[in-house]
Amino acid sequence: MHDLAQSWCQMWNDDAGLAHKLVSGDFRMWCGGTANGDPVRGAGDLAQFVGRYQREQGVRFTPRVVVADGQAQRLAYTWDAAFPDGSVVGGIDVYTLRDGLISENWSLAGERAASIPDDHSHTDGPGPASRADIDELCRAWSPMWNGGTARTADIVSDDFRAWFGARRSAADDLVGPAELAAYVRRHRDGHDSLRFAKHRDPVIDVARQRAAFTWTATLPLADGEHRTLGGIDLFQITGRKLSRCWSVTGTRPFTF
C-alpha cells in the first residue's frame, strides 16, 4: 500500500494517465476546500482533472506518514505539497480500496507545513497496541473533543504533540494530556453545542502502530440551521496511547 501512495503522488506530479491504473470505474473524490472534484467519476474524469491541476498549479506532492490497513482495505497518509514559489503545506488523504483499486478518496490540505516529525515510536513502556486497542483510542477521541476531557490522560501520551493544519488553530507548543485538555476547553469556549463525530470507521495499521479517520464537526447556527464540516485526523500510537496527531479541517461537509 505504500507503493500505492507513491503512485498516487506520481500521478499528481507527472503522469495523469496513471489514473487508469489506480482507480475503479466508479471512483469518487471529495476535496475539503473546493467542490471542483465532486463531479469526477472514474479514471477518465480523474485523469482530466489531474491534468488540468498540473497545468494550472504545478504542485509537487510527497507522501509522508502512511497508514495501511490491509484487513479493511483502507489507506491514509500525510503529505507535503510544494508550490512553485517554494512554499510548502501539509495535508492528509484517506482512501477506500476495492480489488486493489481506489474507489473513494477524501483529501484535505492544510494552510502550513507540518510542524512535528514524520515518525515517533519507541519500545519503552507497554507493548504494541492491538487492533482493538487502537480502535478504542480512535473512538474515544471525539467524546474528548465534545467536552469529556477528564479521560485525556487515558487517551494521549505524556509527550503527545499535535499539528493542526489551520494557522488559526496552531498548537505547535502543546505537549501532553493536560495541555491538550486545556486546548480543547478553549476551543469549545462559546461553542458548547459543537459536536464531533466519526464519518467512517478508522483506518488501522497495527504494524506501524498508526491510525486515521474522517470525522464531522457540526455547529448549530442562530437561525436553527446547522453548519457541518468534514475533517481528517491521523495518529501515531506509542505505549498504547496516541502520541502524535496530524489534523486538518475542511470548509465544507462530506458529500459521501
HEC per residue, 221-255: CCCCCEEEEEEEEEEEEECCEEEEEEEEECCCCCC
E strand spans, 111-186? 156-164
DSSP 13: H
Cell triple for residue 182? 486545556
* pLDDT over threshold 90, residue 186: yes
Q: pLDDT digit string (tens) for 70-106?
A: 999 999 999 999 999 999 999 999 999 999 999 999 9
Residue 120: what pLDDT? Answer: 63
Whether the CA torsion 48, 54, 57, 60 is positive or negative: it is positive
For the residues 123-138, what does the mean pLDDT come to? 88
Share above pLDDT 70 across residues of the chain, in percent, rounded to a whole number? 98
pLDDT at residue 124 greater than cutoff 70: no
- pTM metric for this prediction: 0.95
Looking at CATH, the fold of the domain delimited by 131-249 is given as: Nuclear Transport Factor 2; Chain: A, (3.10.450)
Q: Indicate the SS3 state at residue 14.
A: coil
Q: Which residues contact 227 (CB under 8 A, 6 or more apart)?
A: 218, 219, 221
Choose the CATH number for 2-109 among 3.20.20.140, 3.10.450.50, 3.90.800.10, 3.40.190.10. Answer: 3.10.450.50
| pLDDT tens digits along 187-217 | 999 888 999 999 999 999 999 999 999 999 9
Residue 33 has pLDDT above 80, yes or no: yes
What pLDDT is attached to residue 225?
85
d(CA 21, CA 74): 17
**Phi/psi at 168 (5° precision):** -70, -20
pLDDT value, residue 123? 52
pLDDT digits (tens, 9 = 90+) for 221-247: 877 788 999 999 999 999 999 999 999
Residue 81: per-residue pLDDT = 98
How many CB atoms neighbour CB 28 within 10 A?
22
pLDDT of residue 125: 64
Average the pLDDT over 7-22 and give the result.
98
Query: 234 to each of 19, 59, 138, how far by Cα in Å?
Result: 25, 23, 10
Domain ranges of the chain: 2-109, 131-249
Q: Do the two domains 2-109 and 131-249 of this chain adopt the same fold?
A: yes
pLDDT at 54 over 60: yes
| pLDDT higher than threshold 90 for residue 109 | yes
Instruction: For the chain, list the strands marked E by DSSP.
Output: 23-31, 60-69, 74-82, 88-98, 101-109, 156-164, 195-198, 203-205, 210-220, 226-238, 241-249
C-alpha cell at 82: 510544494
Q: Greater confidence, 123 or 98?
A: 98
